[in-house]
Amino acid sequence: MFSSDGGRIRGLQRGGILTVVLLITLLFPILSFSVILNIGWRSIDDEYLEVKDGVLYIQSVAFARAIGADVDWDSAHKCVILEYGKTEIKIFTRSGRVWRNNEIFTLRNMPFIENGRSYIPLREIAEIMGFNLRYDERSKKIEVELGLSKILNVNILTDGKTRAILEFSKSVNYKVVEADESKLIVDVFGAFIDPPHLKKEINSSSLVSFTLSQFNPSTVRIVFHYNVGTTFRISVEEVGRFVFD
């Protein structure tokens, strides 16, 4: 997309960093505002953004997709609900209150509804969710760091019982999505893998293979395939160390 003066702007995401590049061109008496967000494989156009009283707002649905969260709308309470890993965020558009699990916050800048879409203040919601937002005045760049944990190493031990050990840069949370007689699917939240897909074939009596992939911008999905009748357990033995055995 091009702004009115022909300048091109882009946003880039690397390793959990959401970069928003802002270009504001003042053509008296018209203010032109143009933004492009690129988050992983998704691109979010500036049609999802609004500037109100000098505050940058983003549509809640676009924000959820950008960070890899599930989003819902409680029409009775006029409330946006975000499910981000094991964190639940409720944003009440009428009162400006925000619930993060058991904590309550009050927004300085009120969310609002426009044309049936809910808009939330980017900086405040990002900070409540524990993200780090930085602004570069010279380049007009906003960076929202998601603080993701990177997969550093994958080890397969086949001496005796087979073990798969995944080492992350910091602690992670996980959820078992599916488990049957020959397959286990686990989602690891707040994590990323680079490159975004890895598959390992394993020659053992129990574990056949496993695949790691970037399921959404903040979740790594692990799929284990094993022989029928295999018993297993998954555990986090220490900070950032995820084990299948």
Extents of the domains making up the chain:
13-68+104-145, 149-244
Q: Which residue has the higher pLDDT, 181 or 74?
A: 74
Name the residue among 25, 26, 27, 48 with its Cα closest to residue 36: 48
pLDDT digits (tens, 9 = 90+) for 207-232: 888 899 999 989 999 998 888 877 77
Three-class DSSP category at 135: strand
Cβ contact 217:203 at 8 Å: no
What are the residues facing 133 on neighbouring strands? 144
pLDDT digits (tens, 9 = 90+) for 103-128: 999 999 999 999 999 999 998 998 99
Say whether pLDDT at 15 is over 70. no
Say whether pLDDT at 76 is over 70. yes
**Range with the poorest average pLDDT among 141-155, 190-204, 227-241:** 227-241
pLDDT at 160: 65
pLDDT at 94: 95
Three-class DSSP category at 47: helix
Torsional class of 67: left (φ above 0), alpha (ψ -120 to 50), beta (otherwise): alpha
Cβ contact 128:120 at 8 Å: no
CATH label, 149-244, candidates 3.40.309.10, 1.10.10.60, 2.60.40.3500, 3.40.50.300: 2.60.40.3500
pLDDT at 97: 97
Is it true that the peptide bond before 29 is cis, omega within 30 degrees of 0?
Answer: yes
Length of the chain: 245
Residues in Cβ contact with 11 at an 8 Å cutoff, skipping those fewer than 6 apart: 18, 19, 20, 21, 35, 36, 37, 38, 39, 44
Residue type, 171: S
Residue 101 burial (10 A CB sphere; 0-12, 13-18, 19+): exposed
Residue type, 37: L
Say whether pLDDT at 31 is over 60. no
- pTM score above 0.85: no
pLDDT band at 41 (very low <50, low <70, confident <90, very high): very low
Say whether pLDDT at 145 is over 60. yes
Query: How big is the CA angle at 17 (ends 83 and 43), to the nearest 5 degrees?
Result: 75
d(CA 13, CA 67): 11
pLDDT band at 242 (very low <50, low <70, confident <90, very high): confident
pLDDT band at 139 (very low <50, low <70, confident <90, very high): low
Find the mean pLDDT for residues 169-187.
90
Q: Which residue has the higher pLDDT, 39 or 150?
A: 150
d(CA 216, CA 7): 30
DSSP code for 2: B
To which H or E segment does residue 198 belong? strand 197-201
d(CA 245, CA 232): 5
Percentage above 90 pLDDT, the chain: 38
